[in-house]
Amino acid sequence: MLLAMILRPKSSPRHERPMLAASAPVPAVALPGWLRRAVPDTQNLAAKGIEEIAIAAGAAFGALDAVVRRQERWAGVWRQRLALAAAAVTTRQAGRVEDEAALRDALLLTRLGDDVGPAGRMLLAWRQLASRPTEELLTETSIADVLDALGLARDDETASDLADELRRLAANEGFVGMLVGAFAAVERRSLPPTVGCWFADAMLAQRLGWTHAVPLLGGEAAGAMGSGRPRRAATVLATRGVEAVPERAKSVLSTQAQSALRAVDLSADIERRAGRLIAVAPGLRARGADIVVDHLLSDDATVASAKIAGMSDRSLRRLFERLLELGAVRELSGRPAFRIYGI
């Protein structure tokens, strides 16, 4: 109640509210400088040995693991943001023009029962990675769903073959062998590397015992994709023949290390925003505000017409406006209408 009184007075929306110390007792995972330097970017990748890269990757996974294991309330929005980033890269690679904002629109402005369109389905593929429990990710149906959503020929035989092969890889191979094997399996069936990224993320999560996978690699291929001509440029994970395993291991590991660092960095940002939302949450008087806050912390974005906590369109909009005023959420679309809110 005291908090409510502190937060009640109106102030300019841009006013930065001091974060309450109590709301964030655990400091964010701080990345040491040496780790940032040790993770190679695409330019100096060739110069480094696999051992160097492996050490950096291991450390990066450790940092990421620490973030995942904290099981913060905002883990959902963090994973979904990463999924969105991965989907944006995927659409670009598939030769589509949708960016993150357009993907968000496709998902949120589609009415129940309508079709989200090809780009929206790509987003759904990555959201599937971030939302389904880890153990369900590499089943035959899940793989078939992903291939379908990514706009690839839906062929159940491929899906069941892949499920078998990935299961074998996960059971028999070491860390690196498993990840490299996943890409090789995808390549042998002449599927795009995006699928390999999806599998590798899922397998990493299974190996590390996470309850949910974190979309990492999908968002990363962008660096090497260049901007202008996506199809022609080779990706980091591009095909170099199945025999070049050390080379492939190097590129997979370094890409994963980069993406792990990116994910950790994003988690710090999300934590700051989530902290602000959690701090103002007790002062919200709308009925169902708790559920809305939870929703905001577990998903990338939402619209006022969403059916949350049985709140009406109008009261939800009012709540979002209030949160906007308090600086606890952002309007993500930049439009005066069809507004989309998220932390």
Partner 1 sequence: MAEAARGRKKKGRPDDGLFDRELDHLPPEARWREWMHRVEATIFAASEPVGRETLSRIVGKTCSIELLIDDIREELRGRPYDLIAVAGGWKHLTRPAYADAIRTAVGGSERAVDLTQSEVLVLMCIAYFQPITRAELSSFFGKEISRDLIGNLRGFGMIASGPRAPQPGAPYTYVTTQAFLLEFDLDTLRDLPDREALEDAGLLSKEKLLAGDIMPGLGDAGDNGAEAAIDE
Binding site for partner 1 (CB under 8 A): 94-97, 105-111, 114-120, 141, 144, 148, 151-157, 160, 229, 231-232, 333, 335, 337-338
Q: Exposed/middle/buried for 32, CB within 10 Å: 0-12, 13-18, 19+?
A: exposed
Taking the least distance from each CB to partner 1, the nearer of 155 and 290 is: 155
Q: Considering the complex, what minimum distance in angstroms separates the CB of residue 338 from partner 1?
A: 4
Residue 218 in tokens = 């999908």
Taking the least distance from each CB to partner 1, the nearer of 151 and 223 is: 151
Q: 224 vs 43, 93, 235, 236, CA distance in Å?
A: 9, 11, 5, 6
Taking the least distance from each CB to partner 1, the nearer of 6 and 109 is: 109
Q: Considering the complex, what minimum distance in angstroms separates the CB of residue 151 from partner 1?
A: 5
What is the three-class DSSP state of 91? Answer: helix
Give the amino acid at 103: L
Taking the least distance from each CB to partner 1, the nearer of 9 and 95 is: 95
- CA 261 to chain centroid: 13
Helices (H), 94-216: 100-108, 117-131, 140-149, 156-172, 175-188, 193-208
- CA 124 to chain centroid: 12
Q: Considering the complex, what minimum distance in angstroms separates the CB of residue 311 from partner 1?
A: 21
Q: Considering the complex, what minimum distance in angstroms separates the CB of residue 321 from partner 1?
A: 18
Taking the least distance from each CB to partner 1, the nearer of 8 and 154 is: 154
Q: Strand locations in the chain, DSSP E? A: 302-303, 330-331, 340-342
Q: Considering the complex, what minimum distance in angstroms separates the CB of residue 15 from partner 1?
A: 29
Ordered DSSP codes for 33-46: HHHHHHS--SSSTT
Taking the least distance from each CB to partner 1, the nearer of 91 and 259 is: 91
Q: Considering the complex, what minimum distance in angstroms separates the CB of residue 11 from partner 1?
A: 30
Q: Considering the complex, what minimum distance in angstroms separates the CB of residue 282 from partner 1?
A: 33
Taking the least distance from each CB to partner 1, the nearer of 110 and 312 is: 110
Q: Please state, in angstroms and rounded to a whole number, the distance separating the CA atoms of residues 301 and 295.
A: 9
Q: Are 309 and 322 in contact (CB under 8 A)?
A: no
Length of the chain: 343
Q: Please state, in angstroms and rounded to a whole number, the distance separating the CA atoms of residues 238 and 162.
A: 19
Q: Considering the complex, what minimum distance in angstroms separates the CB of residue 161 from partner 1?
A: 9
Taking the least distance from each CB to partner 1, the nearer of 144 and 249 is: 144
What is the three-class DSSP state of 298? Answer: helix
Residue 251 in tokens = 């590129």
